[in-house]
Amino acid sequence: MGTTSYKCPSCGAGIHFKPELKKFKCDYCLSEYSEEEIANLYKDDEKSEDTHSTQEEVLHKHDVDEAHLQSYTCNSCGAQVVTDDTTTATFCYYCHNPVILSGRLEGEFKPKKMIPFAIDKEKAKSSFLKWAGNKKFVPKDFTSSSQLEKITGVYLPYWWVDTKAQVDYLGEGKNIRVWRTGDMEYTETKKYEIVRQGELDLNNVGEVAFTKIDKSLLNGILPYRESETVDFSMPYLSGFFAEQYDITKEEAEPMIEGQINRYYTYMINDLVSGYDKVDVIRDGIEIKDKEWNYTLLPAWILTYKYQGKTYVFAVNGQTGKSYGELPLSNKRLGSAFGIIFAATFLLLLLGGILIW
């Protein structure tokens, strides 16, 4: 398995994807390149590197297998890159150059689609602060900047499914009208036959394909703007972390299936409108086609340790939406409780004197 590091074509330093520019920029010589330029440049190199690293793999892999870690070699400085078993993009510990474990992005692990990062670290920090700033009872140092420096950008794996369905729907709609004339009340019931036939496409129905971060946390930063999805391109990973899926297609299928069925029901309901009451005689949804897309989505992840508990937060790497369980300062909340208690107590005493 190989590693890839994208380097500046001008000066040879490690190059990062900059979300705010939507381009690659060298920190040293300030050259800018588009994703296309970089990808084309490395197209030819990929093959030779692959063979080169296959040898490396033979050399390095066996001695770390027991530790369940795999080692790769940084192609900038030659140091070993030690990673978790699902990591696909990281940084070299020694030279801090971005390292992409391209060997882990092949075959069944080759992502099909992705949404590149659209907000950078600074913006992620500010949207996180904006969200957390509404909460008054977090510990004092929680929103400090040294704390926020630890925020990291990660591409997380998702399963996305595109489906097509044939619809042959039959229903009975009822409209009820009531009016009065003098002492008489009239009720008119009109029944309609509703027929809907055609095709419904439903795309990008997703499930998280990663167990190491709490699913409800990641659901909290949804939705992404699916329209900005691009085909997977490895250079986008340069400068970020990336993870491989550890929930297989088969494991995710029942959940995806449930979602698909639900959304098709909603879509049919949208098609039938203008009735007081609808009885479904036959919903006739036949799902014909399912296409699975292994998709990488961007998120900024922050962890914070408070009173022995680790809190994890996520910021949507595209929209900036933040989510997570906030630590609660018992001191701050306790004093608020005290104030409210005292105020109510005094108010009730005052009521005792003046009213009852």
Partner 1 sequence: MVIKNIYRRFIVITLFIVLFLFNSIVVGAFKELVFDEAGLFSSEERVSLETEANDLSEAYNMDIVITTTNDTGGKSSMEYADDYFDYNGFGQGPDYDGILFLIDMDNREAFISTSGLGIRYLTDQRIEGVLDEVFDSGLGDGDYYGASQGFLRKTRQYLEAGIPSNQYSADEKEPNRITIFDMLIGLVGGTATGGIFYGSTKSSYKLRNPGNPFSYRNNSIVNVVPGEDRLIDSIVTHRIIPRPPKGGGSSGGGRSTTHRSSSGRTHGGGGRKF
Using CB under 8 A, pick the residue from 259, 283, 284, 306 that binds partner 1. 259
- For partner 1, give the closer residue by CB, 191 or 305: 191
- In the sheet that 15-18 helps form, which strands lie side by side, from edge to edge? 15-18, 23-26, 32-33
CA quadruple 257, 262, 265, 269: dihedral, nearest 10: -160
Distance of CA 160 to the CA centre of its chain: 11
CA–CA separation, 5 vs 23, rounded Å? 16
* Residue list 266-295, contact with partner 1 (CB under 8 A): 266-267, 270-271
Contacts of residue 351, defined as CB under 8 A and 6 or more positions apart, other chains included, come to none
Minimum CB separation from partner 1 for residue 233, in Å? 22
Contact between 170 and partner 1 by CB under 8 A: the answer reads no
Minimum CB separation from partner 1 for residue 295, in Å? 13
The DSSP line for 262-278 is: HHHHHHHHHHS-S-SEE
Q: How many helices, marked H, and strands, marked E, lie in the chain?
A: 6, 16
Contact between 204 and partner 1 by CB under 8 A: the answer reads yes
Contact between 217 and partner 1 by CB under 8 A: the answer reads yes
Minimum CB separation from partner 1 for residue 290, in Å? 14
Contact between 310 and partner 1 by CB under 8 A: the answer reads no
Q: Quick check: 299 and 156 in contact, CB under 8 A?
A: yes
CA–CA separation, 67 vs 111, rounded Å? 27
Contact between 112 and partner 1 by CB under 8 A: the answer reads no
Using CB under 8 A, pick the residue from 103, 206, 298, 317 that binds partner 1. 206
Sign of dihedral through CA atoms 90, 94, 96, 98? negative
Interface characters, 113-142, with partner 1 (x: CB under 8 A): ----------------------x-x-----
- For partner 1, give the closer residue by CB, 67 or 353: 353
* Residue list 183-202, contact with partner 1 (CB under 8 A): 183-202
For 321, half-sphere exposure in the C-beta direction (CA atoms, 13 angstrom radius) is: 12
- For partner 1, give the closer residue by CB, 109 or 263: 263
Minimum CB separation from partner 1 for residue 180, in Å? 7
The DSSP line for 174-193 is: EEEEEEEETTEEEEEEEEEE
Using CB under 8 A, pick the residue from 95, 280, 287, 328 that binds partner 1. 328
- For partner 1, give the closer residue by CB, 120 or 172: 172
Contact between 233 and partner 1 by CB under 8 A: the answer reads no
